Amino acid sequence: GETVALSEKSPSEIDAFLQTQRTAYDRLVTQGLKLDLTRGKPSAAQLDLSNELLRLPQGFTAADGTDVRNYGGLKGLPELREIFAELLWVDPEQLVAGGNSSLTMMKDCLVDLLLHGGVDSERPWSQEEKVTFVCPVPGYDRHFTLLESLGIEMVTVPMYDDGPDADAVAALVKDDPSIKGMWIVPTYANPAGSVCSQDVAARLASMPTAAPDFKIFWDNAYAFHHLTEDEAKSADIVKLASAAGHPHRPLEFASTSKITFAGAGVAFLAASPENIAWYVKHLGTGSIGPDKVNHLRHVQLFKTADGVREHMRRHRDIIAPKFAEVQRVLTERLGTQEVATWNDPAGGYFVNLDVVEGTASRVVELAKAAGVALTPAGASYPYGKDPKDTNIRLAPTMPPVEEVTAAMEAVATCVLLAAAEKYATV
């Protein structure tokens, strides 16, 4: 096997290595694979864990006697809010249970901030000359496309193992009043896998901002999505910000999309009582109430917060072997080559693979030609532009484990060939 790192090989060794990788790749192409590691979707086996929902609810009466079939109750069913308030450490009064998508709630908040301004705004954001968001990278592609579609500019900061670079964020927001907010996926980030530490969260909650109405979009999509028994605790941003004198700064989002049904779950918003009243007021101009039948179904499925925790362990049992397989193949095939680094996330839905600079798009192109669909290179950066062309997001939850193995073997072959091509030309 190869034991000398590519950077230490002589030109003739690199030529020989390139030939070996070309042969391996040609063999791969003849296999005619058809595999997909692109999106973080739950597998059918994971969706099956919640099939009881298809037979629920039993009855249609909520704890307080409300007929869930009828209109009303904009904040969502109280007993469902109680369960998720416990999980997110907020008061149930500070939690809205809504429709099936937290991303839609994020969009609603942004649109309301643009059209109406927030509870602490001097004017609607759309009346500002410019609105900018701080975006930790790599990050979630849909956050970036949403901002782009609304004309909100983006400035990036690095994502570290303990969350966004808090010094960089603090320096940006201190003097520039056009910077109105930031994204963060605090727990098992998409795609970096990192967990925002208590310390970083406290700094984000308390840092001085030139904009009086600065908002942290705290997208806790993977709050309960542990892959190991060492279950990370998200920082409690709502309390931290309140204690720091900025109670209206955070808007925390979560959903059951990766807990029950990705397309038919329940989304949540947690924030200060004033922010919740603001959100519900604007929501009420376009809705007479959420799908409380779905809320009641979810209450009857989980029963308690512990019911949710137990349910997440069943997810873990299904997907942890797939993540282990990604690690095994990457380590065996690339471990000694110095052509890639990657993380071994303790939760969430993604593995973040960094390949030789300037080769990520080539790897994705090679994989595509070999029948393996990968997320487009650069997707985890605003405007789809990874300045170093190094980052690839791998999503192993959806395919069966044998397909994860085959796809990762193919990815490794493509990473090696792209690296060999690059070294051979320098």
Binding region for ligand PMP (CB under 6 A): 40, 101-103, 140, 185, 190, 219, 221, 255, 257, 267
| 382 CA to centre of own chain | 14
| Smallest separation (angstroms) from ligand PMP to the CB of 75 | 18
Indicate the residue among 49 and 103 with the shorter CB distance to ligand PMP.
Answer: 103
| Smallest separation (angstroms) from ligand PMP to the CB of 39 | 7
Indicate the residue among 133 and 140 with the shorter CB distance to ligand PMP.
Answer: 140
- Bond preceding residue 138 cis, omega within 30 of 0: yes
Indicate the residue among 140 and 279 with the shorter CB distance to ligand PMP.
Answer: 140
| Smallest separation (angstroms) from ligand PMP to the CB of 185 | 4
Indicate the residue among 117 and 138 with the shorter CB distance to ligand PMP.
Answer: 138
Indicate the residue among 191 and 247 with the shorter CB distance to ligand PMP.
Answer: 191
- Bond preceding residue 191 cis, omega within 30 of 0: yes
Indicate the residue among 227 and 417 with the shorter CB distance to ligand PMP.
Answer: 227
Vertex 85: Cα angle to 82 and 90 (nearest 5): 135
| Smallest separation (angstroms) from ligand PMP to the CB of 376 | 15
| Smallest separation (angstroms) from ligand PMP to the CB of 371 | 24
Indicate the residue among 380 and 405 with the shorter CB distance to ligand PMP.
Answer: 380
| Smallest separation (angstroms) from ligand PMP to the CB of 380 | 11
| Smallest separation (angstroms) from ligand PMP to the CB of 101 | 3
Angle separating helix axes 305-334 and 292-302, nearest 10 degrees: 80
Residue 304 CB contacts under 8 Å (≥ 6 apart), including other chains: 83
Q: How many CB atoms lie within 10 A of CB 7?
A: 12
Closest listed residue to residue 198, CA positions, set 237, 243, 225, 254: 237
Q: Which helix (H) or strand (E) holds 202?
A: helix 198-206
CA distance 9 to 243: 56
Closest listed residue to residue 6, CA positions, set 365, 357, 390: 357
Whose tokens are 């095994």? That residue is 328
Under DSSP, is residue 257 helix (H, G, I), strand (E, B) or coil?
A: coil
Indicate the residue among 214 and 349 with the shorter CB distance to ligand PMP.
Answer: 349
Residue 186 CB contacts under 8 Å (≥ 6 apart), including other chains: 163, 195, 196, 201, 218, 219, 220, 223, 234, 235, 237
| Smallest separation (angstroms) from ligand PMP to the CB of 262 | 6
